[in-house]
Amino acid sequence: MKKVILTLMAIASVGQLAMAFCGFYVAKAGADLYNNKSEVILVRDGSNTTITMSNDFSGNVKDFAMVVPVPNVLDRSDIQIADRSIFQMLDAYSAPRLVEYYDYNPCGLPMPSMMDVSMEKESTTKMATYTARKDNFNYKVTIEAQYSVEEYDIVLLSAKDANGLKRWLVDNGYSIPAKAEHVLEPYIKSGLKFFVVKVDLNKYNPKANGGFLRPLQIKVKSDKFMLPIRLGMANSVGEQDMIVYAFSKRGRVECTNYRTVKMPTDNLVPTFIKPKFGTFYTDVFKNEYRKVGKNAVFLEYAWNVTPTFNGMKCDPCVGNPPYTREITMAGVPWANQNGVTTFFTRLHVRYTLDKFPEDLFFQETPNTEMYQARYVITNPATGDLSCAEGRVYQDKLRLRRRKELIELASLARWNTDSYYDYIAHGTDKVRSNKAKETDHNSKNINVPFWFFGKGSTPHKGLFLLVFGMLIVYSVKRLKLTLVKG
């Protein structure tokens, strides 16, 4: 764990809730929150696209098979093995984040100026052989190229018949979904080739890389900037999540055949969200996903990451921003060129076959506006608040907490009725069933009894109200008697 010294500067004005000038990151919602998820890095440079595919495959590697439609036959130089750490770094850097601020004590007590914060922070060898069926079945499949890249056996295929391609794959030891031919057919009709991968068990070391398969990086050439996702849904039994990390010279990368929607950002949420941020964000995403009809692509981050860029590369930093080495690892060919912008976009798509019947098509846009999915908690001032400004501050604090609960209900659809103690005391104490019953029995009383002071109850408030009305009535009667006398 790194110890990071952060200077917190406070700016205050009388009668206002003042917040620290700089907040700091306290939690993130990374790609590991999702079960059925994949991660892809896209780099667009003219008509060239570099695609780096993460492998979170779990199971016996002899059953692993990957089939990716590609627009052209790849040369050996177009295929590389990437370092898995690049995905971990980009995810940590761009994940939706929770930031923390501190209110200034309006009664003049000094706020600590420094806080010590802990942050969590290829070789080519002998080729595999592919044999025909003994019954001389006509697959209508052509092997265009064949490579052995360290632990991977790779073959580039063209095909004229979806069923023939499926049978060729099965007969040559690839584990293919039963209904794959229905998904393969549109790609064959479009003239695409197939980048087919399996693991060479003689070269695979299960103890290396934490047991994970290493990511493959390929370079393709096409006027279409697209990512095929339909094959991945051939054996899907539910929703799948994909995180796309995209690099461009121009600006944001957006989807063209589905809407690109920004996630809510800069929302003030209750302080008790801090230890629950992962659950909170998954619920926020689920809510937004439903609101847009389950067929949109979500923007979670967009920033200028040019190594020579003098502006902030994150605000706040969830993880270290990518520099020249990491950007090069991601497949960016211009990383070392002076005067060339590198703009980074993080997109999140949750897809099913019925809602995403097409592959994802993208475009580079000139939009260079910085954006991050960021949520804010503000810790209340501490110390003596008995001065006049302190009492005003406490009234505004209660109002702010009420708004934070409303925001929480709107964003994540949490039932905030249970957090009855948060407005007054800032705790996440959950209302008991007995308290709920008491509240239900008194729900028709509309007098604001909290006005009479801390610890008041409806009965006390009602007594005081009636007693006050009797005094006023008695005084008026006395005045009338004196006037008549």
Q: What is the pLDDT of residues 355-390, one digit of tens each?
A: 999 999 999 999 999 999 999 999 999 999 999 999
pLDDT, residue 462, reads 60
Residue 57: pLDDT band with limits 50, 70, 90:
confident
Question: Worst-scoring range by mean pLDDT, 223-227, 390-394, 421-425?
Answer: 421-425
Taking every pair of C-alpha atoms in the chain, what is the biggest distance, in angstroms? 126
Whether residue 76 is predicted with pLDDT greater than 90 in this model: the reply is: yes
Cis peptide before 316 (omega within 30 of 0): yes
CB within 8 A of 287, min separation 6: which ones?
Answer: 411, 412, 413
Taken as a whole, the chain contains a residue count of 485
pLDDT, residue 445, reads 34
pLDDT, residue 108, reads 76
Whether residue 23 is predicted with pLDDT greater than 60 in this model: the reply is: no
pLDDT, residue 359, reads 94
d(CA 250, CA 43): 12
Greater pLDDT, 14 or 74: 74
What does the pLDDT average to over 260-284? 96
* Residue 82, token pair as written in the block: 């990437």
Whether residue 303 is predicted with pLDDT greater than 60 in this model: the reply is: yes
pLDDT, residue 390, reads 94
Q: What is the pLDDT of residues 143-160, one digit of tens each?
A: 999 999 999 999 999 999
Cα-to-chain-centroid distance, residue 47: 28
Whether residue 75 is predicted with pLDDT greater than 50 in this model: the reply is: yes
What does the pLDDT average to over 425-438? 61
Neighbours of 279 (CB within 10 A): 14
Whether residue 294 is predicted with pLDDT greater than 50 in this model: the reply is: yes
d(CA 270, CA 263): 19
Whether residue 283 is predicted with pLDDT greater than 50 in this model: the reply is: yes
Question: Worst-scoring range by mean pLDDT, 38-42, 199-203, 316-320?
Answer: 316-320
What does the pLDDT average to over 461-474? 68
pLDDT, residue 384, reads 93
Q: What proportion of the chain, given as a percentage, has pLDDT over 90? A: 55
CB within 8 A of 202, min separation 6: which ones?
Answer: none
**What percent of the chain is helix, strand and coil (3-state, nearest 5)?**
30, 25, 45
Whether residue 136 is predicted with pLDDT greater than 50 in this model: the reply is: no
pLDDT, residue 89, reads 94
Q: What is the average pLDDT score of the chain? A: 80
Candidate ranges 60-64, 162-166, 344-348, 476-480; pick with highest mean pLDDT: 344-348
Identify the residue whose tokens are 């939706």: 96
Residue 477: pLDDT band with limits 50, 70, 90:
low
Whether residue 279 is predicted with pLDDT greater than 90 in this model: the reply is: yes
Q: Which pairing describes strands 2-7 and 216-221: parallel, antiparallel, or unpaired?
A: unpaired
Whether 71 and 193 have beta carbons less than 8 Å apart is answered as yes
Whether 316 and 301 have beta carbons less than 8 Å apart is answered as no
Question: Worst-scoring range by mean pLDDT, 81-85, 100-104, 450-454?
Answer: 450-454
DSSP one-letter code for 293: T
Q: What proportion of the chain, given as a percentage, has pLDDT over 70? A: 74
Neighbours of 201 (CB within 10 A): 12
Prediction pTM value: 0.78
- Rg over alpha carbons for the chain, rounded to the nearest Å, is 30
Q: Where are the alpha helices (DSSP H) in 15-77?
A: none
